Structure 1
């Protein structure tokens, strides 16, 4: 039964009013909210998929399933940071509120949720009317680039600032198409350079790639192909998996990709996939006892869910580049005993509690250092608000019902220091923090993997620096080979193939000889 002592936000199916000038919503609720003087919207993929999406024939309610613990923790990190600011004197006299809506890891659902966040008094303007003062002044999210790309188009209409902490697709840096999009991470144009540089460091020039069929996967693939060509790295195969987890062909495609990996001479494989797809692929690798050296994209480079799956130590070495992580003071204690402010609601947290697990389990299920981006996003908004509202030590006298474009203008100017690092958005709307290089080190006693920072990638020098010893999983503890060309013995010579780094060994022509090994 709906509570009668709370004003529920109006969301739901769009219906044109009789005048045709606005869209009204049937009553409903977002997943979590708390009122405030200035409200921040959050788009979170708290559920991993939408059921029966492939057979959807008419507009109807999305049935979202599979609660995603990583997204839940990221969402709670936003709540915790907002409450931390509210309990400080950083914005004196101003209380931040929030509305959190679920994208269910689907771009269409993300657009619907964005409409719900923007709606004022249950309606959105259409036709020629401009939405000057929406319900929220900024939106944090979405998690996946596929969703952020769809949402960024809508938000560009109203110039509502959008700050993602994980969407890294290069195309989102386009200021013409996505003028209101910002992110607390670099774009994939840097990540793929880091991956190619890392492969070149270990002389891996024959590699495979598996990517998702969404915008994130396809864009990252093209970026990697360009960067790897410059590093003389050849591609043994390029396989694609459906981004949609309930796709009819998902199981068959995982079997086919597994077979491709098994038969290939490439011993290094880059996986540009969401963590759920990697989990399913690794299940098959473990079942067939296939071992390779795996390179993780940022989407799964610190997935506790994968690092703890049964048999994970059988799959071989795992490396990955992750966005710079950092501390989140008080957040671990908050997760162990979440305390929401009076009047706030969090249905996602209630759903989690119904699973029968204590909330302290979340601190073990997810590496909370990855929520640093959420902390940075909220503090970025707070710093911009401090400028926009003309805050001093005792008051923030500026207008609080401002149009979001004014906040966007201030966000582009921020430059603040946190944990001895300086943060700002560059001309493309990105933070330029670089990456940590993670090594998934096997734990013999637990059978799990532990994330260890063994190096980093500097965006300015464009080089990978290995700063800690790496323990390889093969019996000889040596760097594995992944080369497309055989070593040519004496009496043979290289014959270059179409790709510059590959060759065959051919017998020396009559009247010629070779007395050295050719590599």
Structure 2
């Protein structure tokens, strides 16, 4: 609204001015602003705008007479030093034989009194001049100034640039930081030697990130500087996943209720760090309330607008603001400035009323023309009745912390270098239409803007000065820390630097040992909504709260997070599993029935034990092969049965250990053939028993001719050969192979033998089952045959055990996971083998070894004789 109003006033003045031209042969000034200023003539004039006074007093409006012009109060010595720095820089350039030779620079400097209206008046005076009239009937020609250094504030800079940008008048601000001024479409001729708020915000966020402060409060002033800085701050915080706990606006006026509301929000918040974008005039009422509320335990982060303001450096504020971290524009050194500041004299420059005001404020008396400056420090005969007035040891002569003044110095030199480059142009090689060059006597502002955009030089202090495409300078900030001094007040120390390079980006360098922390212990505070989630957990945002407020949930089995504050857990690859802490993927445990584990050792022992027992029985039978009990039970089939049982016991070893291709192929084949050989032998033994019984009867004398030794061997071989064929077809078509199975349990890999063909494995088992069933049936039918030692009973009992074991095996095998399925199969093999071995051979060995008197033909046949 203010910008629109001033543009309208400006255009109105142009209309009035144009109307007057039609009535006169001269261009006349239609009005005159009462402004405090400093002047120096030259071939080329530079303008300057400075905030030399704190306040503007507006006249009383009666709406009956023309109001008096506003006037300014409360002279600022430090800002006056900045104005004098511009005068010094121009004086230094004029003495430089290399820069702008044969050209003398002059200046017109005005005081804007920290008031938008005064700043706009001063800018219009600079661009239109203060001459009452000139005879150019077209009212055309170069403006009185070719460029302006200023304004230091963002809001006046926006208003002034909006108007002067229409005429492409170059403006180089030394303290306006609003990021909005980087918009080249709106402000095509605006430049600045101070970084914009966007860079300032990045620098402050770098400090927050360095100390891990992710949960911070934000306070900003209700002006362009504060509003645009707050917007950039929110965006930058979101970019790095940080959060603003609260965001409060400092009001224009000292409204106690608003100030108390802000302090209440700060006190209630869990954020220990508070970032403030504000000028000192906005912030002072809040700090007064902080003292009244005795609000300690907060880490303040100061923007450059108040980080160096001395009004806060009092012992009264030390308990609350001590330890404050802030950023400030680069501090520089200007050789010769101190002596220049000491040797000014208003009596020699009667036009410069700003000098007169300075002396009146310095010494508190009315100025009278005359006087001299002696020894660079003493001013005599300046004020009536006053002598030995010193201007040393004042903010005006303190050049130890040149920040804004150093930017003024760079702004003047930037304009001077642009003018110098403009003068070095060779006709026919110029940058403008037709390769023309600019004429310094008829210089157009946009021509200087072209050269200003390409300025590239280094100051005597060693800082590089150039502008990017938006007119912004490369960002460099000092990091400041407010520390207690010996007198109990606050003293500012530089503890680091934030520097932005064209290739390196924003780089923060801090001396943490030099930082003073206003906390116990003397360490940086923690300011987070939630503590960081360690590896092995993930962040789960709390509903309705910012992303910085979250819970840490452990990753599930098989998922990991190997970074801090992970958003999601990562699923491990198929052959990997999460570690106990869920922070890394480790190879899954490969599970198989091993020889080293207790179960494997037990089964191996049982297998070898069965093999040994079978061997001992064979030895016993071999040693007593001519005894009736061995001969009566078909010793050849008995030895074949014992051999097959040994094979059954030994095949167990193929099921134990890490599966290999050959073990997978052999284990079921050897198992199937061994058991078929075993059952076939039992089946033939049973058939021989039945044949012998029938041969003892008259009607069955021819039965034995079908069960001679050859027939017995052929029957066993034929039955076994059929199993061999089944195994051969199975292995040739769908051979079992080692397989890593992760379906049983996700945390382990079960290393097993895939059977390849379910049909092949089923036929193998079915064939064994068929032979066992037939053997059981025949033995059951022959169980009551008359004999003192009827082997059919033992075969019946052994086959009953065999069938029971394998019937129970099927559901147990299907329901057992992993290696335990293999253990179930081994147990079934061992149980059935031991059942056959014990049931068939234990009674015989008992008689042979313990009752040899019963191992006679008469004893064996005794029962039959008795029955007769």
Report the TM range for the smaller structure's normalisation: 0.7 to 0.9
Whether 2:391 is the aligned partner of 1:359: answer yes
Question: Displacement of 1:463 after TM fit?
Answer: 3.4
Tell me the residue number matched to 2:410.
376
Whether 2:281 is the aligned partner of 1:234: answer no
Cα deviation digits, residues 220-272 of structure 1 (max 9, x gap): 10000000112222212111123x5xx3x444433332332233222111111
> For the Cα contact (< 8 Å) 1:209–1:235, is it kept in 2?
yes
1: CA distance, partners of 2:102 / 2:45 = 14
- Unmatched runs of 5 consecutive residues or more in structure 2: 1-11, 22-26, 364-389, 427-437, 555-563, 566-868
Cα 1:18–1:228 shift into 2, 3 Å? closer
1:55-454 map, 5 Å:
61-89=69-97, 90-120=99-129, 122=131, 132-242=141-251, 244=252, 247=253, 249-291=254-296, 292-308=298-314, 310-339=316-345, 342-343=348-349, 345-357=351-363, 358-360=390-392, 361-363=394-396, 368-370=401-403, 371-390=405-424, 399-418=440-459, 419-454=461-496
More deviation in 176-185 or 330-339?
330-339
Give the match's secondary structure for 1:195: helix
2: CA distance, partners of 1:267 / 1:503 = 18
Give the match's secondary structure for 1:19: helix
More deviation in 338-347 or 68-77?
338-347
> For the Cα contact (< 8 Å) 2:59–2:68, is it kept in 1?
no
Tell me the residue number matched to 1:3.
none
2: CA distance, partners of 1:159 / 1:14 = 19
Question: Displacement of 1:59 after TM fit?
Answer: 6.7
> How many residue pairs align between the two structures?
485
Cα deviation digits, residues 440-476 of structure 1 (max 9, x gap): 2221334222232323243542232224522212231
Whether 2:524 is the aligned partner of 1:475: answer no
Cα 1:19–1:323 shift into 2, 3 Å? same
Question: Displacement of 1:54 after TM fit?
Answer: 12
2: CA distance, partners of 1:472 / 1:313 = 11
Give the match's secondary structure for 1:254: helix
Tell me the residue number matched to 1:503.
550
Give the match's secondary structure for 1:26: coil
Match of 1:463 among 485, 489, 507: 507
More helix by share: 2
Give the match's secondary structure for 2:93: helix
Question: Displacement of 1:321 after TM fit?
Answer: 1.7
Cα 1:91–1:473 shift into 2, 3 Å? same
Give the match's secondary structure for 2:248: strand
2: CA distance, partners of 1:211 / 1:458 = 24
Question: Displacement of 1:53 after TM fit?
Answer: 9.2
Cα 1:167–1:364 shift into 2, 3 Å? same
2: CA distance, partners of 1:494 / 1:464 = 28
1: CA distance, partners of 2:62 / 2:124 = 21
Cα 1:451–1:383 shift into 2, 3 Å? same
Question: Displacement of 1:113 after TM fit?
Answer: 1.2
- Unmatched runs of 5 consecutive residues or more in structure 1: 1-12, 509-517
Give the match's secondary structure for 2:266: helix
- TM-score, structure 1 as length reference: 0.83
Cα RMSD (Å) of the superposition? 3.5
Question: Displacement of 1:48 after TM fit?
Answer: 2.5
Cα 1:27–1:303 shift into 2, 3 Å? closer
Give the match's secondary structure for 2:31: strand
Larger RCO of the pair (alpha carbons < 8 Å, separation 6+): 1
Tell me the residue number matched to 1:513.
none
> For the Cα contact (< 8 Å) 1:308–1:449, is it kept in 2?
no
> For the Cα contact (< 8 Å) 1:39–1:96, is it kept in 2?
yes
Question: Displacement of 1:376 after TM fit?
Answer: 0.6
2: CA distance, partners of 1:343 / 1:364 = 20
Question: Displacement of 1:415 after TM fit?
Answer: 1.2
Cα 1:153–1:18 shift into 2, 3 Å? closer
User: Larger radius of gyration, structure 1 or 2?
Assistant: 2
1: CA distance, partners of 2:259 / 2:60 = 18
> For the Cα contact (< 8 Å) 2:313–2:489, is it kept in 1?
no
1: CA distance, partners of 2:145 / 2:476 = 31
Cα deviation digits, residues 120-155 of structure 1 (max 9, x gap): 454799xxx896511111000011111111111111
1: CA distance, partners of 2:170 / 2:96 = 24
Tell me the residue number matched to 2:19.
19
More deviation in 162-171 or 101-110?
101-110
2: CA distance, partners of 1:429 / 1:314 = 38
2: CA distance, partners of 1:293 / 1:495 = 28
